Structure 1
Amino acid sequence: MQNISTDLVRRLVDTQFPEWAGLPLSLVDPAGSDHVIHRLGPELSVRLPRHEGAIGQAAKEFEWLPKLAPHLPLAVPVPVAVGEPGFGYPWHWAVARWMDGEPATTALDSVATAETLAGFLHALQALPVDGAPTGNDGLAGRDPSTRAAITQAADAFDAVAMTRLWDEALAAPGWERPPVWFHGDFHTGNLLTTAGRVSAVIDFGGLGAGDPAVDLMMAFTLMSARSRAAFREALGVDDPTWARGRGWALSAGLIAYTAYAATDPHIAAVTTRQITQALDR
């Protein structure tokens, strides 16, 4: 995990992009677990990966988001530049247009929101995937880490129920249709809202093409039973894909819970909800 100070960000910006050297720089807090974010002047943001798992995002978004954005019904980040390593910081980093909006919370949960998000995924999945990154390794690649997390979290959640859900997800038939685009980390924390409505989708580090089940995580992070049913109906999700989506929600929630819950009450709360909603189907 990199220690990223505002002074370091200032030096990186000023040396690599002198045209922005005079703009004020301020830390955005709280930021995500993957990036440190600063606002640069009124119109820009600077995002630096905290760890190796996030280091490919800057280049990926710079290549793909300008191609996808015009066809999507919600706003997405507009990349401006990719910075180079420097001053001991080892990875590429990104400058993008600042996006106004408030972080989404479960207060946004409604059938209307579910249908809006289903519409976003429909539009994303309809776009050509020629040359798209493959994205994640699927559920099977997460089996060891997920089972380890089930064991670690057995005092907080029903280990028998979690194991049963996970086994069902792994046993579900895979995606046999042509690959489609997926966001790859589609959950409440990667939505922005304006005037009480979803206005933007952010953080496309997991963007790729393949099985869209990974994006069903949203149904278990933001939604409750009624809106979740509307979301599934609007997307036309079959039983095997839904089972894999529940598996993604459980796995991602558990792994984040075991990594961060002891030190971050916010992550503890949102991942607890994600896990319990996945268990509730």
Structure 2
Amino acid sequence: MHADQVDVSVDVVSALVAAQFPEWRALPVHPVPSSGTVNALFRLGPEIVLRFPLQPGADAELRAELLREQEYARLLAAYLPIAVPEPLGLGEPGAGYPGPWTAYRWIAGEPARPDLIGDPDTFARDLAGVVVALRSIDTGGRTWSGSGRGGPLVALDVDVRSALADSVHLTDTARLAVVWDRCREAPRRDDRDVWIHADLMPGNLLVRDGRLAAVIDLETVNVGDPAVDLMPAWNLLDAGARETYRRALGVDNDTWERGRGWALLQAINALPYYVETNRVMAAIARRTLRAVLD
């Protein structure tokens, strides 16, 4: 999927585990099929999942990001009403893999799809409960850091225009440009930044027995515009559940339009990038873009 992607094998993973976590060396390693775009996943025995960044590096920045993700996992676990990944360890670069990697407790469930959701309205309310719990966490006066999702949409206008130009043969870019213009200009009446997951994509929401069971992939957790976490309204939920989600969160019109803008931005950047390399992500992008035009 990425020009600088590193593919890691089961043999390499087994050797890294044996060298760095000898207490786990007898556990079998199995690759986990995933449509994710950031990490390769491996199941280690029945209780552990290993996450290897597809674009690793030995620089201190990536290691700090992984440590921060584990810190946020511990923070969110104390507040959210559903499971989040439990950190178990941080691996270091080794033979066959040039960067740090992480170990978490395995959470049973499947990535969310409309056909796996039992009652869409119940799912929407459960997800809204997670977002409300996130927003309730004290930010300690922090505001958006200046990187990642959560700042003003207008700052991303050039990126969206470029992605629209790359997608003229893939979707209705003329109509999407009109929607983007409206969303980009939607004001923030309340400029209070809150804790946001910032990547509530279907693959980061686990479903078990038709219900929302866990929120995973916490590397994007940040403080920023609460509209960012409205993205599931368009990338996953149907029209009825979309309104249920909105009512449960008490969202005003301007925030709703910014949320639509975040969903559009994510999808229009993903579609041309993954159309040939990740069909699941491309299909989600197409579904999202249809929904934002409703």
Same fold (TM over 0.5): yes
The CA distance in 1 between the partners of 2:81 and 2:129, in whole Å, is 8
Counterpart selection for 2:232 from 181, 205, 218: 218
Shift of 1:87: 2.1
Shift of 1:131: 7.9
1:200-237 Cα shifts (integer Å, max 9, x gaps): 11111110111111111111111111110111111011
Deviates more, 1:124-133 or 1:224-233: 124-133
| Residue 10 of structure 1: aligned partner | 14
Alignment of 1:136 with 2:148, yes or no, is yes
- Secondary structure of the 2:94 match is coil
Shift of 1:43: 0.8
Counterpart selection for 1:227 from 228, 241, 248: 241
Alignment of 1:248 with 2:262, yes or no, is yes
Shift of 1:121: 0.4
From the superposition, tell whether residues 38 and 118 of structure 1 become closer, same or farther in structure 2 (CA, over 3 Å). same
Q: Which residue identity is paired with 1:70?
A: A
- Secondary structure of the 2:218 match is coil
- Secondary structure of the 2:261 match is helix
What pairs up with 1:115-194 in 2 under 5 angstroms?
A: 115-130=125-140, 134=145, 136-137=148-149, 138=151, 139-174=153-188, 176-194=190-208
The CA distance in 1 between the partners of 2:187 and 2:237, in whole Å, is 25
Task: Give the alignment's TM-score, normalised by structure 2.
Answer: 0.89
Counterpart selection for 2:54 from 50, 54, 69: 50
Alignment of 1:102 with 2:102, yes or no, is no
The CA distance in 1 between the partners of 2:204 and 2:21, in whole Å, is 27
Contact preservation (8 Å) 2:6, 2:56: no
Contact preservation (8 Å) 1:61, 1:79: no
- Secondary structure of the 2:183 match is helix
| Residue 95 of structure 2: aligned partner | 87
1:118-138 Cα shifts (integer Å, max 9, x gaps): 111001100112386836253
The CA distance in 2 between the partners of 1:264 and 1:97, in whole Å, is 26
CA-based RMSD of the aligned residues comes to 2.0
From the superposition, tell whether residues 142 and 45 of structure 1 become closer, same or farther in structure 2 (CA, over 3 Å). same
The CA distance in 2 between the partners of 1:37 and 1:197, in whole Å, is 23
| Residue 32 of structure 1: aligned partner | 36
Q: Which residue identity is paired with 1:43?
A: E
From the superposition, tell whether residues 140 and 86 of structure 1 become closer, same or farther in structure 2 (CA, over 3 Å). farther
Contact preservation (8 Å) 1:26, 1:39: yes
Contact preservation (8 Å) 1:57, 1:204: no
The CA distance in 1 between the partners of 2:210 and 2:9, in whole Å, is 33
Once the two structures are aligned, what percentage of the paired residues are identical?
40
Contact preservation (8 Å) 2:205, 2:214: yes
Contact preservation (8 Å) 2:42, 2:51: yes
| Residue 76 of structure 1: aligned partner | 84
Q: Which runs of 5+ in 2 are unaligned?
A: none
Q: Which residue identity is paired with 1:65?
A: A
Q: Which runs of 5+ in 1 are unaligned?
A: none
Contact preservation (8 Å) 2:230, 2:260: yes
| Residue 26 of structure 2: aligned partner | 22
- Secondary structure of the 2:228 match is helix
Q: Which residue identity is paired with 2:182?
A: E
- Secondary structure of the 2:176 match is helix
- Secondary structure of the 2:206 match is strand
Shift of 1:49: 0.8
Deviates more, 1:228-237 or 1:1-10: 1-10
